[in-house]
C-alpha cells in the first residue's frame, strides 16, 4: 500500500491479480489475506472479484483503521490457480438482480445500475425509455452508456474501433456475495480475433461507498498480452478508447486532482461542447454545482486507477456527458500492479455523494494505490531460472527451487526443442534445491525453445527459456571483424585517435559523474561508450571494472524522467553499445534485466517524444526544420541502437513495428531533406546531427537493408560533403579556421568522424567518388579534432584523398539560402558568405540578408555567436522601425512560413569574382516595407562592394548594422589564465572572444583615427586582432546615412568568462557594431569594404536621381561598379552607360561584368549587348595572353555581343565547340536560356 501525504482511515484497496500467460489458469475464489508488520501477521478479509470474463480477477479489501501520513502497509495473499473456470454465483440478499427480456438490472440500497436490452444488445447513448440508469439510492444521476475501444498489438494501433453496444453479448453474467454484486456482458470472439467484457459492480461495505466498472480484452494466441488498449500517444494520436456516461443534470463546476476546481463554462475546449482539456496526467474529475446554480443535482465523480484524461461534454440542454480516454496516454506504468503494462484491462470508479468534499476525500485516499509483487508458488517456486531467459553457448544454467509446502521429492529434466529429455540431478540444501552439477550450454546444443520441468508428487511446473546463437557484437561490426579492429590501435593511421581515446578513458572517473558534473550527462554517456570501446579494442586495459560499475549506475540510477531528448538518446546509446560489446560478460538474468529496463525506457521515449512524429499535417514547412534536426537524429539513433542490440532478445512483432517506424522516419526525413546537402541548423549542429544520423543510417543498412532509402541517402551524403567543405572557413594550422556562423554556430572546429564515414561509404558513381575523395581530404589533411569514437571504426586510410584546389571557390546552397565565396583554397584566403532563405525555426536565426566576412582565419564582420535569445539586431542586417525579422525574440524560434522568407534571387560567380543578390523584405512583419534587396559584388580577395536598396509605402526608421569583435588565436591562450578558458586542445579553440573591439573613424582626408562622434560618416576601419590587417569601409551611398558605433549586447549560449550554460538568459557585451540609419520611404546604401590600405574609393552616386556607383583609380586602370535607379532606361554613371540592374568594369583585372542588362558600355567601348533578353555576364576576354573566358546567364534565348579585342582561334560553350562571329573587337554568339561558360583559345 503506497503512502499518501495525509492521514487516511479505512482505505479501499482494489488491485489486479496476475493473469496467467497461458490464459487457462484461473484464480480461485477462496483466498487467505494477511496484514504483515514487523511483529505480527494478522488475517483480514479479502475478496476475489471476477469480471464477466473470469480470466480477469481482482482482489478487494479494506486497509482498516488509520494509515499515518506517509505511511505504508504490507499484505500477503495466498491463493490457488486452476484450469477450472470459476463459476459466477449469486449469493446476496442485500442486492437484487432483475433480468426480464428487455433489460438487466442490479439494484442495491447504495447504487443501482440497469441497461436496456434489444435482442441481447445493450443499448447505447442517452436513454429515452427510462430503462437505462445509474442511481445512488433513489436519485438517478445517469441515463445512458456508450462503451468503445480500439485494440493495439506489437506497438501498433489496430482498426477498427469497436462499440460494445453494436453487438449482442453472447453471455450476460451476474455474481454476488456478502461484499459485492456485479452484472456483466461477455463478448466472445469479437470480430473473430479477441474476447471482451464489461462489468459493473456495487459494494456492501461502508468504506466502499462507490461503484466500479471495468472493461477487459483477451486473446488466446501465443503472446496473449500483446493485445491491449492502444496508447493514444504521439505515434497514434487517432487511437480511440473511451467509456461514456450520460448524466441527467447540468453542472457548472469541475474539480480534478491535477487542475483543482474550475468553471465548466470557463474551461477551454477545442471540440463542439467540449468543456474539459486533454489532461493525460489526470486521475479523477468531479462535477458539481455552486450556490448560484439552479440545479440541485448531487456531485458525481469519476476515478481512474491509471492516469488518463476524464473529459466533460455539455449537451444543448445543459446536461453533462463524461468519458474517460484511458490507454497508454500518460504513463508507461501505473501503480496498481507489476504487470499493469499489459494494459488489456481498465477499471474506473463512479461515485456520487451529498457534497464534493466526500468524493474528493475518498478519491484522494485511493489515489496512491498499491503495488502488487510477483506471485510465488508454494510447492515449486523457481528462483532460478526465471521466466523468459535467453542462453547462449558458454552460459551456465543454474537451478534453484524453493518449496515451502513440498508434496514429494523434487525431480527435474530439460526438454530440448526436439522434445528429447535430459535428466537433471537435484540436491537439497539449506538454501533450497539446487542443481548438483552445473550445466553449461555448448555450441552443439540445438537453438530454440527449451523447457525445464520440475515435479513434486502430483505437482508439476514448467519454466521456459530460449537458447539462441550469440549475435554479439552486432551493432556496427560482428565477431569476425573484431581482430582487425583491435589491430588498428597499432597502425599509424589510427595513432592519434587511439591516443585521444586512451586519454579520455584514463581521465574518466573515478566516480563516473565527477568529471562532467551536473551540466550535461551527454558527456558522461559518450565517455562511457569510449571507455567500453577502449576496453574492447585492448582487453589488457584496466578499465573493465570501472566501465561495468558506471554501466549499472546509469542503467539503475539515471534520472530518465528528467532527461531531455539528447540526454536520453546519448545515455541509451551508450548503454546499448556496452551491452552489445560485452554481451557474454553479462549473465542471462542480467541480460533480461538490462533488456527489460532499456526496452521500457525506449518504449516510453518512442511514444512520448515528438521527434518520432512523422504525421506532418498539411503545412510541411512547419516541420521540415525538425525533420532535419539533430534532436530527431539522436532520438532515432538511440532507438535503433536499442532495437538492434536486442534484436534476437525481443518479441518479433514488436521489434518489427519499431523497425518499420525507424524506416518510416528515415524515409520521411529523406523525402523532406535539403537536396543540396545543407542544414537549417548551421554547421555546428549539422555535424552534431550527423554524429547520430550516420550511425542511424548505418544501423538500418546493416540490419534492415530491405529499406528503400539506400540510394536516396547515398545521394544526400554526396552533397553533405560540399556543405561541410564550403562551410569550413580558411585559416588555422592547416586549412581549417572554423565554420561559417549561420544559425546557432559558434566559430569552432568540427570532428573528422562524419567525413571519415562519408569517405568510406561513397564511391559507386563518379559524383560519389569525388565526394568520397574530398571527404577523405577533410579527414586526413585539415586541422580538425577527432572527438567521436566512431572515427576509429569508420576511417579507411587506404581511400585516396582529393585536394579541393580544382574545385570552384564558390557555392550556392539554394535550399538553405547560403552563398559562399572564398578567394582561393589557401589558408589565408578571404571568405565571404551571405544567407537569405527559409527560417526553419529551432536553431535557425532571423538573419535573412546577413553578411559574414573573414580573412586569414579571423572574422572581420560577423553576426553574434551562438545566442540563447535570437535577435535580428545581432546580425549584419536591417532593422525597420527598430524591429527585426519574423522569428526573433525567442530562444528556440518557431518556423516561419516560406511566404515570409528571404531568397537569394541571383548568383553569378567565378574564382576571382562573385555577384549575389538577395531579397528579404517578406521576412519583416512590417506594413511599410515592400522591398529590401542586398547585392554583394566581390571584386577580388581584398574588396567587396555591398549595395542595399530599401523601399516602403511610407517613411521608415531604417538601420543597417555591421558587427565586429576582437578574438584570440588558439596559440595565444594562456593555460594558467583565469579570465579565459583553458584550451587543453588548441584545435578546438579557433578563437575566443575579447570584450573590447573598436571601430576607428576617419573623417574625409584625415589619416589618423579619431573618436567616433554620433552621425559622422566614414570611412571606418575594424580589425578582429591587434596584429591583423585592418578592413576599411567607405560609405559612398546615394543617400546620406547617419552613423554611430555602439556596444553590442546579446545573450550568449555560454556565459563568457564562466563558460557555463546561460540558462538565465543573461546579456553580455561583445564588441561593437556600426549602425547606419536614415528615415526615408526609399533608401540606397553603397559600401565599399577593402583590405587595400592604399585604396581611395570615390562615389559615383547621385542623390538627386538615386543612381549609385563607386570608382577607384589605380595604376593599371579604373575599377567601377554602378547601379541605375531605373534599370529599364539607358543610364550613364561615371564612364559607364548601361540598360540594366548593375554593371561594372575592372581595368585592373581586365574584366567587365553586369547583371540583368541589355547593354553595357564604357565610354566608346560596347562591352555587352543583347538583342533578345536580359543577361548577366562576367567576362575576362581582353588579354589573349591570359585564359579568356566568360560566365553568362540569360533569361531567354538571345544573340549576345561581348567586347573581345583580339580574335580567338577557337571557342567552346559549356565544353562544346562553337562557331562565333568576331568583328572589330566584338564577339557575337547565340545563347540559349540558362547558365553558360564561354572559353576562347588562345
Q: Are residues 803 and 815 in the same domain?
A: no
- How far the first Cα of the chain sits from its last, in Å, is 94
DSSP string, 19-49: PPTTS--EEEEEEEEEEE-SS-EEEE-EEEE
Q: pLDDT tens, 489-498?
A: 999 999 888 9
Number of Cα atoms under 13 Å in the Cβ half of residue 285: 29
pLDDT tops 60 at residue 653: yes
Q: What residues contact residue 128 under an 8 Å CB cut-off, 6+ apart?
A: none
**What's the CATH number where 308 sits?**
2.70.98
d(CA 269, CA 276): 6
d(CA 372, CA 21): 17
Shared domain for 1155 and 1194, answered yes or no, is: yes
| % the chain with pLDDT above 90 | 63
User: Cα 520 to chain center, whole Å?
Assistant: 17
* Signed CA dihedral, 694, 699, 700, 701: sign only: positive
CB 1074 within 8 A of CB 1020: yes
Would residue 9 count as lying in a domain? Answer: no
- Grade residue 430 by pLDDT with cuts at 50, 70 and 90: confident
Query: What is the β-pairing status of strands 410-415 and 448-456?
Result: antiparallel
pLDDT at 458: 83
E-only strand ranges, 293-447: 300-304, 310-314, 319-324, 345-352, 381-384, 389-391, 396-397, 400-402, 410-415, 421-424, 426-429, 432-435, 439-440
**Which among 336, 366, 396 is the end of a domain?**
366
- SS3 string, 404-430, reads CCCCCCEEEEEECCCCCEEEECEEEEC
User: Is the pLDDT confidence value at 1197 over 60?
Assistant: yes
- Identify the band that residue 190 occupies on the pLDDT scale cut at 50, 70 and 90: confident
Question: Strand, helix or coil at 505?
Answer: helix
Least confident of 329-338, 1034-1043, 1163-1172: 329-338
Q: Which of 257, 461, 236, 246 is nearest to 343 (CA)?
A: 236
Indicate the DSSP class of residue 87.
P
Does residue 963 sit in the same domain as residue 1008?
A: yes
Are residues 858 and 909 both part of a single domain?
A: yes
Contact 115, 172 (CB under 8 A): no
Farthest-apart Cα atoms in the chain, separation: 121
Q: Same domain for 645 and 781? A: yes
Count of the separate structural domains present in the chain: 5
Element housing 486 (H / E): helix 482-487
Pairing of strands 345-352, 319-324: unpaired
Rounded Cα distance, 1122 and 1099, in Å: 10
| Rounded average pLDDT over 840-864 | 93
Instruction: Say whether both 859 and 713 belong to one domain.
Output: no
Last residue of a domain, one of 1046, 1066, 1087: 1087
Residue 933 has pLDDT above 90, yes or no: yes
In this structure, the answer to whether residues 791 and 902 fall within a common structural domain is no
**Which set of grid coordinates corresponds to residue 755?**
567525413
Specify the pLDDT at position 232.
Answer: 64
In a domain, 31, yes or no: no
Q: Do residues 819 and 802 both lie within one domain?
A: no
Note down the domain range covering 257. 95-366
Q: What was the pLDDT predicted at 1039?
A: 96
Residue 17 lies in a domain: no
Region of poorest pLDDT, from 239-243, 328-332, 341-345: 328-332
Burial of 237-270, coded b for 16+ CB within 10 Å and e otherwise, reads: eebbbbbbbbbbbbbbbbbbbeeeebebeebebe
Kindly give, in sequence order, each residue whose CB lies less than 8 Å from that of residue 552, ignoring residues fewer than 6 positions away.
none
pLDDT for 1112 equals: 95
* The three three-digit cell numbers of residue 34, written as one number: 494477511
In a domain, 52, yes or no: no
Q: What is the pLDDT of residue 560?
A: 84
Q: What is the pLDDT of residues 112-129, one digit of tens each?
A: 999 999 999 999 999 989
Going by the DSSP 8-state scheme, the letter that residue 488 receives in this structure is G
Give a yes or no: residue 631 inside a domain: yes
Closest CA to 289 of 309, 268, 263, 310: 263
Distance CA 825, CA 806 (A): 9
For the residues 139-159, what does the mean pLDDT come to? 86
Give the CATH number of the domain where residue 1075 resides: 2.70.98.70
Q: Which of 154, 159, 148, 157 is nearest to 187 (CA)?
A: 148
One domain for residues 992 and 1051: yes
Judged against a pLDDT cut of 70, whether residue 267 lies above it is answered with no
Position 984 pLDDT exceeds 60: no
For 28-59, letters b (16+ CB in 10 Å) and e give: ebebebbbeeeeeeeeeebbbbbbbbbbbbbb
pLDDT digits (tens, 9 = 90+) for 1172-1195: 899 999 999 999 999 999 999 999
* Cβ partners under 8 Å of residue 38, min gap 6: none
Q: Which of 17-21, 765-769, 843-847, 885-889 has the lowest mean pLDDT?
A: 17-21
3-state secondary structure of 1185: coil
**Sign of the torsion formed by the C-alpha atoms of 60, 64, 66 and 70:** negative
Task: Name the band, by pLDDT with cuts 50, 70 and 90, for residue 747.
Answer: low
Residues 401 and 359 in one domain: no
Q: Is pLDDT of 609 > 90? A: no
Q: Which positions ≥6 away from 1231 have C-beta within 8 Å?
A: 1175, 1192, 1194, 1197, 1198, 1199, 1200
Averaged pLDDT, 1008-1037:
74
Is 610 part of any domain?
yes
Instruction: State residue 796 phi and psi, 5-degree precision.
Output: -120, 95
All three cell numbers of 744: 546557432
Read off the C-alpha cell for 189: 470472439
Query: According to the model, what pLDDT value does residue 64 have?
Result: 96
Q: What is the mean pLDDT of residues 160-178?
A: 92
Same-domain status, 324 and 191? yes
Residue 795 corresponds to which cell in the numbers above? 576511417
For residue 384, count CB atoms less than 10 angstroms from its CB and return exposed for 0-12, middle for 13-18, buried for 19 or more.
middle
Please report, for residues 504, 1000, 1044, the alpha-carbon distance to residue 1015 in angstroms, rounded to integers and kept in the order given.
54, 14, 6
State the pLDDT at residue 535. 97
Which of 1052, 1087, 1122 represents a domain boundary (last residue)?
A: 1087
136: left (phi over 0), alpha (psi -120 to 50) or beta: beta
Q: List the one residue out of 552, 525, 982 whose CA is nearest residue 789.
A: 525
Residue 964 lies in a domain: yes
pLDDT of residue 43: 96
Q: Where are the beta strands (DSSP E) in 991-1129?
A: 992-993, 1000-1001, 1020-1022, 1031-1035, 1042-1050, 1068-1090, 1098-1099, 1108-1114, 1117-1123
Q: Is 83 a domain residue? A: no
What letters, b where the CB count within 10 A reaches 16 and e where it falls short, cover 797-822?
eebebbebeebebbbbbebbbbbbbb
Cis peptide before 160 (omega within 30 of 0): yes
Least confident of 288-297, 409-418, 592-601, 1083-1092: 288-297
What is the model's pLDDT at position 734? Answer: 53
Pairing of strands 459-467, 389-391: parallel
pLDDT mean over 450-466: 90
576 and 548 assigned to the same domain: yes
CATH classification of the domain holding 454: 2.60.40.1930
Amino acid at each position: 500500500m503506497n503512502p499518501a501525504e495525509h492521514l487516511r482511515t479505512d482505505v479501499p484497496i482494489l488491485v489486479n491479480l496476475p493473469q496467467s500467460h497461458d490464459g487457462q489458469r484461473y484464480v480461485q475464489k477462496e483466498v487467505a489475506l494477511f496484514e504483515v508488520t514487523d511483529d505480527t501477521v494478522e488475517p483480514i478479509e479479502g475478496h476475489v472479484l471476477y469480471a464477466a470474463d473470469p480470466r480477469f480477477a481482482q482482489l478487494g479489501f479494506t486497509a482498516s483503521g488509520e494509515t499515518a501520513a506517509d505511511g505504508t502497509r504490507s499484505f500477503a495473499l495466498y491463493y490457488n490457480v486452476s484450469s477450472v473456470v470459476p463459476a459466477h454465483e449469486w449469493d446476496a440478499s442485500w442486492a437484487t438482480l432483475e433480468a426480464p427480456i428487455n433489460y438487466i438490472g442490479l439494484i442495491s440500497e447504495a447504487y443501482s445500475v440497469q441497461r436496456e436490452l434489444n435482442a441481447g444488445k445493450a443499448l447505447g447513448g442517452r436513454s429515452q425509455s427510462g430503462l437505462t440508469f445509474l442511481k445512488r439510492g433513489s436519485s438517478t444521476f445517469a441515463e445512458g452508456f456508450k462503451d468503445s475501444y480500439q485494440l493495439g498489438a506489437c506497438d501498433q494501433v489496430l482498426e477498427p474501433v469497436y462499440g460494445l453496444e453494436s453487438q449482442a453479448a453472447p453471455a450476460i453474467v451476474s455474481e454476488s456475495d456478502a461484499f459485492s454484486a456485479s452484472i456483466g456482458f461477455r463478448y466472445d470472439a469479437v470480430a473473430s480475433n479477441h474476447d471482451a467484457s464489461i462489468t459493473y459492480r456495487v459494494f456492501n461495505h461502508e468504506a466502499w461507498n462507490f461503484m466500479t466498472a471495468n472493461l477487459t480484452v483477451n486473446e488466446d494466441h501465443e503472446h496473449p498480452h500483446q493485445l491491449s488498449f492502444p496508447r493514444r500517444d504521439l505515434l497514434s494520436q487517432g487511437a480511440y478508447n473511451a467509456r461514456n456516461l450520460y448524466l441527467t443534470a447540468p453542472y457548472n463546476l469541475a474539480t480534478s486532482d491535477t487542475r483543482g476546481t474550475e468553471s465548466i463554462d470557463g474551461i477551454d475546449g477545442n471540440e463542439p461542447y467540449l468543456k474539459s482539456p486533454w489532461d493525460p496526467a489526470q486521475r479523477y474529475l468531479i462535477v458539481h454545482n455552486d450556490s448560484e446554480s439552479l440545479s440541485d443535482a448531487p456531485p458525481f465523480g469519476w476515478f481512474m486507477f491509471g492516469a488518463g484524461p476524464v473529459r466533460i461534454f455539455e449537451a444543448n440542454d445543459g446536461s453533462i456527458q463524461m468519458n474517460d480516454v484511458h490507454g497508454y496516454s500518460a504513463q508507461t506504468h501505473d501503480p496498481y500492479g507489476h504487470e499493469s503494462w499489459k494494459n488489456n484491462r481498465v477499471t474506473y470508479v463512479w461515485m456520487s455523494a451529498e457534497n464534493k468534499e466526500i468524493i474528493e476525500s475518498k478519491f484522494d485516499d485511493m489515489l496512491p494505490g498499491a503495488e502488487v509483487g510477483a506471485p510465488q508458488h508454494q510447492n515449486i517456486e523457481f528462483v532460478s531460472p526465471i521466466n523468459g531467459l535467453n542462453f547462449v553457448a558458454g552460459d551456465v544454467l543454474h537451478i534453484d527451487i524453493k518449496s515451502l509446502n513440498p508434496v514429494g521429492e523434487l525431480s527435474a529434466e530439460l526438454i530440448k526443442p526436439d522434445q528429447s529429455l535430459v535428466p537433471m540431478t537435484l540436491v537439497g540444501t539449506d538454501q533450497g534445491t539446487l542443481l548438483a552439477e552445473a550445466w553449461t550450454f555448448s555450441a552443439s546444443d540445438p537453438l530454440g525453445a527449451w523447457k525445464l520441468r520440475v515435479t513434486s508428487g502430483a505437482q508439476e511446473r514448467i519454466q521456459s527459456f530460449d537458447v539462441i546463437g550469440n549475435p554479439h557484437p552486432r551493432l556496427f561490426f560482428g565477431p569476425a571483424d573484431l581482430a582487425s579492429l583491435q589491430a588498428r590501435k597499432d597502425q599509424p593511421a589510427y595513432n592519434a585517435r587511439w591516443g585521444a581515446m586512451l586519454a579520455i578513458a584514463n581521465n574518466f572517473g573515478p566516480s563516473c559523474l565527477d568529471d562532467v558534473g551536473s551540466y550535461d550527462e551527454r558527456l558522461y554517456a559518450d565517455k562511457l561508450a569510449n571507455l567500453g570501446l577502449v576496453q574492447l579494442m585492448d582487453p589488457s586495459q584496466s578499465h573493465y571494472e570501472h566501465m561495468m560499475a558506471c554501466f549499472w549506475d546509469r542503467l539503475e540510477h539515471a534520472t530518465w524522467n528528467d532527461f531531455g531528448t539528447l540526454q536520453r538518446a546519448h545515455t541509451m546509446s551508450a548503454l546499448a553499445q556496452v551491452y552489445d560489446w560485452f554481451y557474454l560478460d553479462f549473465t542471462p538474468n542480467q541480460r533480461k534485466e538490462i533488456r527489460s529496463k532499456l526496452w521500457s525506457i525506449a518504449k516510453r521515449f518512442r511514444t512520448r517524444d515528438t521527434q518520432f512524429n512523422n504525421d506532418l499535417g498539411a503545412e510541411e514547412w512547419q516541420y521540415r526544420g525538425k525533420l532535419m534536426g539533430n534532436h530527431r537524429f539522436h532520438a532515432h539513433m538511440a532507438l535503433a541502437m536499442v532495437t538492434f542490440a536486442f534484436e534476437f532478445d525481443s518479441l518479433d512483432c514488436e521489434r518489427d513495428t519499431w523497425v518499420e517506424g525507424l524506416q518510416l522516419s528515415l524515409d520521411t526525413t529523406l523525402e523532406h531533406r535539403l537536396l543540396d546537402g545543407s542544414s537549417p541548423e548551421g554547421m555546428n549542429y549539422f555535424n552534431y546531427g550527423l554524429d547520430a544520423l550516420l550511425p542511424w543510417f548505418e544501423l538500418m543498412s546493416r540490419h534492415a537493408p530491405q529499406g528503400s532509402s539506400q540510394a536516396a541517402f547515398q545521394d544526400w551524403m554526396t552533397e553533405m560533403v560540399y556543405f561541410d567543405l564550403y562551410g569550413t572557413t580558411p585559416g588555422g594550422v592547416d586549412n581549417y579556421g572554423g565554420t561559417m556562423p549561420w544559425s546557432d554556430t559558434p566559430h569552432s572546429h568540427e570532428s573528422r568522424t562524419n567525413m571519415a564515414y562519408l569517405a568510406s561509404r561513397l564511391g559507386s558513381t563518379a559524383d560519389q567518388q569525388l565526394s568520397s575523395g574530398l571527404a577523405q581530404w577533410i579527414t586526413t589533411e585539415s586541422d580538425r579534432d577527432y572527438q567521436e569514437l566512431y572515427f576509429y571504426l569508420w576511417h579507411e586510410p587506404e581511400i585516396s584523398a582529393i585536394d579541393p584546389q580544382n574545385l570552384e571557390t564558390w557555392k550556392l546552397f539554394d535550399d538553405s539560402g547560403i552563398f559562399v565565396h572564398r578567394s582561393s583554397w589557401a589558408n589565408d584566403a578571404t571568405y565571404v558568405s551571405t544567407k537569405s532563405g527559409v527560417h526553419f525555426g529551432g536553431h535557425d536565426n532571423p538573419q535573412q540578408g546577413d553578411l559574414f566576412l573573414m580573412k586569414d582565419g579571423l572574422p572581420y564582420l560577423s553576426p553574434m555567436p551562438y545566442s540563447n535569445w535570437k535577435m535580428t539586431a545581432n546580425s549584419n542586417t536591417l532593422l525597420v522601425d527598430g524591429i527585426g525579422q519574423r522569428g526573433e525574440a525567442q530562444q528556440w524560434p518557431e518556423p516561419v512560413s516560406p511566404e515570409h522568407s528571404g531568397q537569394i534571387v541571383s548568383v553569378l560567380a567565378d574564382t576571382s569574382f562573385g555577384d549575389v543578390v538577395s531579397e528579404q523584405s517578406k521576412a519583416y512583419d512590417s506594413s511599410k516595407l515592400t522591398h529590401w534587396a542586398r547585392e554583394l559584388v566581390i571584386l577580388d580577395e581584398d574588396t567587396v562592394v555591398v549595395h542595399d536598396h530599401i523601399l516602403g509605402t511610407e517613411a521608415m526608421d531604417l538601420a543597417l548594422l555591421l558587427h565586429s569583435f576582437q578574438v584570440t588565436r588558439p596559440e595565444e591562450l594562456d593555460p594558467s589564465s583565469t579570465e579565459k578558458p583553458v584550451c587543453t586542445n588548441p584545435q578546438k579553440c579557433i578563437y575566443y572572444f575579447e570584450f573590447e573591439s573598436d571601430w576607428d573613424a576617419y573623417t574625409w582626408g584625415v589619416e589618423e583615427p579619431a573618436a567616433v562622434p554620433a552621425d559622422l560618416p566614414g570611412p571606418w576601419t575594424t580589425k578582429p586582432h591587434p596584429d591583423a590587417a585592418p578592413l576599411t569601409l567607405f560609405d559612398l551611398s546615394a543617400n546620406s546615412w547617419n552613423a554611430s558605433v555602439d556596444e553590442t549586447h546579446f545573450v550568449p549560449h555560454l556565459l563568457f568568462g564562466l563558460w557555463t550554460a546561460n540558462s538565465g538568459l543573461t546579456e553580455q557585451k561583445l564588441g561593437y557594431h556600426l549602425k547606419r540609419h536614415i528615415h526615408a520611404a526609399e533608401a540606397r546604401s553603397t559600401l565599399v569594404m577593402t583590405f587595400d590600405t592604399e585604396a581611395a574609393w570615390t562615389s559615383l552616386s547621385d542623390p538627386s536621381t538615386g543612381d549609385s556607383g563607386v570608382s577607384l583609380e589605380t595604376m593599371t586602370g579604373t575599377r567601377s561598379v554602378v547601379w541605375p535607379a531605373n534599370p529599364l532606361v539607358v543610364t550613364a554613371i561615371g564612364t559607364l552607360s548601361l540598360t540594366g540592374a548593375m554593371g561594372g568594369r575592372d581595368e585592373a583585372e581586365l574584366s567587365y561584368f553586369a547583371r540583368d542588362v541589355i547593354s553595357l558600355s564604357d565610354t566608346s567601348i560596347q562591352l555587352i549587348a543583347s538583342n533578345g533578353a536580359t543577361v548577366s555576364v562576367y567576362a575576362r576576354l581582353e588579354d589573349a595572353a591570359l585564359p579568356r573566358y566568360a560566365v553568362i546567364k540569360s533569361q531567354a534565348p538571345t544573340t549576345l555581343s561581348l567586347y573581345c579585342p583580339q580574335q580567338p582561334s577557337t571557342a567552346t560553350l559549356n565544353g562544346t565547340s562553337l562557331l562565333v562571329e568576331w568583328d572589330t573587337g566584338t564577339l557575337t554568339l547565340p545563347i540559349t536560356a540558362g547558365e553558360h561558360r564561354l572559353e576562347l583559345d588562345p
